[in-house]
């Protein structure tokens, strides 16, 4: 119900009155994330990375993989190289076709055109870049993978297994 207003009536007694209902407007659906263009990468004016400002590496999605994920330590040069070579993908491709990892690194970078972006790279090769409030998604082939990755078997040891896809 939210907060209540205390009001006094003519006889001096008080009563609790619920607040007036606020208009509820549904947030507009992002056309590139859940909307009609979810299969299309969001338009992006590509700009090279000028500087990687922060790197928080070795992040684990689950406590069971924390020790293995500490080995995922991309350097600023690795982050720059990843975004120079990675392929842009749609939101749907990022969610459905990607190879998800329990380990990641994230931080902030500055593009050569001066914009600041927040980045996140998963150790198996998916990434996201948030520029001017919009998310952009990436995937890579072998040529752009960060080489200092934990071995998959060690990284996944102890991690819950995904259910098998239906046949």
H-assigned helices in 10-148:
66-69, 76-85, 91-96
The pLDDT of residue 45 is 78
Residue percentage of the chain with pLDDT more than 70: 67
Residue 75's pLDDT band, with cuts at 50, 70 and 90, is very high
The more confidently predicted of residues 46 and 128 is 128
pLDDT above 70 (res 77): yes
pLDDT above 50 (res 49): yes
What is the number of alpha carbons within 13 Å of residue 52 lying toward its C-beta?
22
- Whole-model pTM: value is 0.68
């Amino acid at each position: 119900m939210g907060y209540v207003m205390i009001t006094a009536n003519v006889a001096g007694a008080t009563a609790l009155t619920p607040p007036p209902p606020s208009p509820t407007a549904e947030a507009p659906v992002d056309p590139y994330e859940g909307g009609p263009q979810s299969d299309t990468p969001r338009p992006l004016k590509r700009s090279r990375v000028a500087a990687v400002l922060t790197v928080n590496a070795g992040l684990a999605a689950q406590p069971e993989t924390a020790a293995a994920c500490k080995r995922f330590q991309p350097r600023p040069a690795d982050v720059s190289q990843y975004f120079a070579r990675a392929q842009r993908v749609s939101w749907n491709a990022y969610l459905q076709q990607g190879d998800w990892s329990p380990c990641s690194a994230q931080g902030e970078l500055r593009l050569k055109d001066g914009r600041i972006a927040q980045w996140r790279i998963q150790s198996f090769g998916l990434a996201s870049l948030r520029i001017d409030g919009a998310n952009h998604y990436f995937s890579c082939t072998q040529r752009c993978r960060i080489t200092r990755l934990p071995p998959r078997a060690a990284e996944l040891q102890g991690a819950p297994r995904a259910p098998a896809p239906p046949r």
